[in-house]
Structure 1
Amino acid sequence: MVTDPSGTVGSSGAAGPAAESAPVRRLLPLIVPALAVGTACALALLGISLLAEGLQEVLWETLPDTFSVGRRSALWTVLVLTATGLVTGLLIRVVPGRAGPDPATTGLVDPPLAAGVVPGLLLVTVLTLAGGISLGPENPVTAANIALAFWLGRRIAPGTPAGLWVPLAAAGTVGALFGTPVAAALILSETLAARPGSGALWDRLFGPLAAGAAGALTMTLLAHPSFDLSLPPYTRPHWADLLSSAVIATAAAALGLLAVCAFPPAHRFFRALRHPVPALTLGGLLLGVLGVLGGRLTLFKGLDEVKELAADPNGWSAGQFAVMAVVKTAALLIAASCGFRGGRIFPAVFVGVALGLCAHALVTPVPVALAVTCAVLGVLLAITRQGWLSLFTAAVLVGDAGVFPVLCVASLPAWLLVTGRQQMQLRADGTPLR
């Protein structure tokens, strides 16, 4: 028996046809819980983001000013990132449930964690975001929201199907992250396509779409997020754009695949240390060294730093953009494999933007908006292995639907390169998923 995200029970019994015959009666009761869960998920994400920003200001502005140390000096960068690893390792050792499972084995949408794990998970997530680690909030915040929605939902409405709360919380969080329910619908449509269930796809997406809309509207009204990089507009496609877009997307996917292939041995190396404290302390030290090599823009999750890069596409040379892309890729690899809790989407976007700006600097006739979106598309395809999410994220960076046809063409060779290969997620025994 399988429960789909709308709460329908699909089986060979009599319940299936009865539910199929009255989809409106089945979908209407989803609206209130979906809106409530979506709003709560957005508030949780906003709260974690504000806490992280406050702690970040203390770590990177207040303390260095107090000790008369340069805010972006090499010494302070290495010190803060190493200390972040040390404290995170100590916290993971003492908090209930060790702040969740090994993040190398988890995806964006997973089964619910025990509710008691959530406080520790969110605590180390705040520290990760504030300390400059190259990971985003999406994975741990989504996991926390799923756990809380499942725990509360089953107690407030014990008669509801177990499969109802997970997609609502996932959609609400993703909608809040991207400021639109479309992202949530696209991600969950890929998930649902691999699962059996009854009813039309839009019936199954009805509740998650409502939750995603509630999350997106809550975040938009309270925080006004924007992914638009304000790049020069992409006017219209040219024949030459088909070749350049395919080359850029494929090259970006190849760089992402290098990180994916290095992920299992990097994870084995850190796991051989047998304790989160030395693993995360060493990881933090290595990230600090990378931060010195790549500069301050290669620190943190990358969303604000991407906007600073895009604000001045000619402010750095092609070599400098390439160094930032490689350093950020290495930082993402280390942060994801040594045990820091965080997501990989936002750092991957930074890598793509830096690569796209590098391509534009090397071949200036290539429109900057096209170069950036195609590079982001390629990196995300390799790192996430989610086609709709990659296309959507790349396109939303320029806010121009005209780039979609060329992006779809560029996605073809990039997808042929990454499909069927190992993913940046491991099984419990350390072997990569495919």
Structure 2
Amino acid sequence: MAQDTAQEAAATPATPARGLLPLVLPALFVGAGASLLLVGVSGLAVRLQHVLWRDLPDALGVGRYSVLWMLVMLTATGVLVGLVVWKAPGHAGPDPATLGLAVTTPLSPAVVPGLLVAAVLVLAGGPSLGPENPVIVANAALAFWLGRRFVPGLPGGVWVALAEAATIGALFGTPVAAALLLSEALVGQQVRGPLWDNVFGPLIAAAAGALTTTLVARPNLDLDLPVYGRPGWGDLLAAPAVASASALLGMTAVYAFPYVHRVFIRLRHPMVALPAGGLVLGLLAAVGGRLTLFKGLDEVAALARDPDGWSAGQFATMAVVKLAALLVAASCGFRGGRIFPSVFIGAALGLCAHALVPAVHPALGVTSGVLGLLLAVTRHGWVSLFTAAVLVPSPGLTALLCVASLPAWLLVTGRPQMQLREDGTAVR
């Protein structure tokens, strides 16, 4: 979470229970509301995706995922999103290349409709981005505006912290990821009172968001890969090796990010940059195939259903193409997040390791690959470890992932992040 929002949230009376009780109802409302917004955006995007990629090509007699249709749809998505960014109030929010998971300054609520329309178009149209960043920004803007209007006694930063935690909880269907992210944000800050006093409200919001999503949408991140048994001696080498290789692959995109972003910035106008980005994504999809489209969560489940169904070369091609697609989509102005595409890239790389060395268990390869890629792209250690672990729940595997995270973290820490400042330079 952003330092200023966390510090304001920490300013809430910490020790007495009566200082924490006023947070309960606001946190519950924000949690449920954030979840419903996420479910609504995702559900609308799925319906639109079916129209664009199933009903429309069938009506026209065109192959659903033919090269021609992928080029047409991704370019058209660039045109539509470019139109929204050009004409919508607030231009559908700031440049997404400058955004992380934390919200520093809440947007005006007038910007939210354009941002959500752009996000739905991206999710349905095929660019390799997920819903997390636009939905976090939208939820923070709405929570801040409504909270200051109806409960002016709470600091504005509290509403932002509640919205961020609620959205993370809703995304993963559990509040644990939000709690881990909060603990990272509070490290090194001068907070008052015990840790649990400082995360009390956000944790309630995350739990409410997670439970609402679970009851309404029934999400399931478990990939149902072959059961992983007891760790072996070889696994102690395989897990760090796969995680480190995945982190190195991710860092190639991180280092290229400012340069690719600069190319699209030079196109100056969103009605030029976004269609151009869409065309490039269409060409990449022609190389990588249909599984390299969209945010990647359904597609990684397709890989997991048949971990031996592709060759090592095919898995490697999908990983590299998806990484390039993520890099282009995040650089040219499409509104979306980078977590779920990173999960696909890491999973494909892990299955590539299994195809090359069958002794590498598919579950070990997938989770280690996802861990390394997320460490490079997000630079959030706990969230990366948690995301990899929930894909294949296994105590023995979780212990191996903790070991694998150490060399991978050494490769990424202190280096540029996949997030840019306003001047186009990389955040460190």
Normalised by the length of structure 2, the TM-score is 0.97
Match of 2:379 in 1: 385
Do the aligned residues in 1 keep the contact of 2:108 with 2:141 (CA within 8 Å)?
yes
Equivalent positions of 1:82-231 (< 5 A) are 82-111=75-104, 112-231=106-225
Q: Which moved more, 1:404-413 or 1:136-145?
A: 404-413
Q: 1:52·1:129 contact (CA, 8 Å) conserved in 2?
A: yes
Aligned to 1:45: 38
Query: Which runs of structure 1 show a deviation greater than 6 angstroms over 4 or more consecutive aligned residues?
Result: none
Contact 2:5 2:160 in 1 (8 A): no
1:225 match: secondary structure: coil
Number of the residue aligned with 1:23: 16
> For residues 6 and 429 of structure 1, what CA distance do their matches in structure 2 show?
27
**For the Cα contact (< 8 Å) 1:5–1:205, is it kept in 2?**
no
Q: Is the 8 A contact 2:389 2:398 kept in 1?
A: yes
Residue of structure 1 in register with 2:389 after alignment: 395
Alignment-derived partner of residue 80 in structure 1 = 73
CA positional deviation for 1:401: 2.3
Partner residue in 2 for 1:358: 352
Q: Distance in 2 between matches of 1:2 and 1:73?
A: 48
**Gapped regions of structure 1 (runs ≥ 5):** 11-18
1:171-206 deviations in whole A, cap 9, x for unaligned? 111111000000111112111224332121111111
Question: TM-score, length-normalised on structure 1?
Answer: 0.96
2:417 is aligned with 1:423: yes
Quote the offset at 1:370 in angstroms: 0.8
C-alpha distance 222-429 of structure 1, shift in aligned 2 (>3 A): same
- Does the aligned pair in 2 maintain the 1:271–1:338 contact within 8 Å? yes
Q: Distance in 2 between matches of 1:6 and 1:27?
A: 14
Residues in 2 aligned to 1:173 and 1:23: alpha-carbon distance in whole angstroms: 27
Distance 1:204 1:153 in 2: 19
1:271 aligned residue (241, 260, 265):
265
Quote the residue 2:295 is aligned against. 301
| Alignment of 1:315 onto 2:309 | yes
Tell me, which stretches of 5 or more residues in structure 2 are unaligned? none
Identical pairs, percent: 64
**Alpha-carbon contact 1:175-1:216 (below 8 Å) kept:** yes
User: Matched residues in 1 for 2:396 and 2:23: separation?
Assistant: 35
Q: Which amino acid aligns with 1:389?
A: V
CA change 1:5–1:172 in 2 (3 A) is farther
User: Could you say what secondary structure the match of 2:231 adopts?
Assistant: coil
Residue equivalent to 1:408: 402
Of residues 351-360 and 183-192 in structure 1, the stretch that sits farther from structure 2 once superposed is 183-192
Cα separation, 2, equivalents of 1:63 and 1:314: 33
The separation in 1 between residues aligned to 2:148 and 2:246, in whole angstroms, is: 43
| 1:36 match | 29
Matched, 1:9 2:11: yes
Give how far 1:240 is off: 1.4
Q: 1:5, 1:304 → 2: CA distance?
A: 37
Please name the residue that 1:326 is paired with: 320
Whether the 8 Å CA contact 2:5–2:161 is kept in 1: the answer is no
Q: 1:246 is aligned with what amino acid?
A: P
Equivalent of 2:47 in 42, 54, 61: 54
Alignment root-mean-square deviation, CA: 1.3
How many Å separate the matches in 2 of 1:193 and 1:266?
33
Q: How many residue pairs were aligned? A: 425
Q: CA deviation at 1:129?
A: 0.3
Judged with a 3 Å threshold, the aligned counterparts in structure 2 of structure 1 residues 4 and 339 are, in CA distance, closer, same or farther, namely: closer
Q: 1:197 to 1:267 in 2, by over 3 A?
A: same
The one-letter code of the counterpart of 2:194 is A
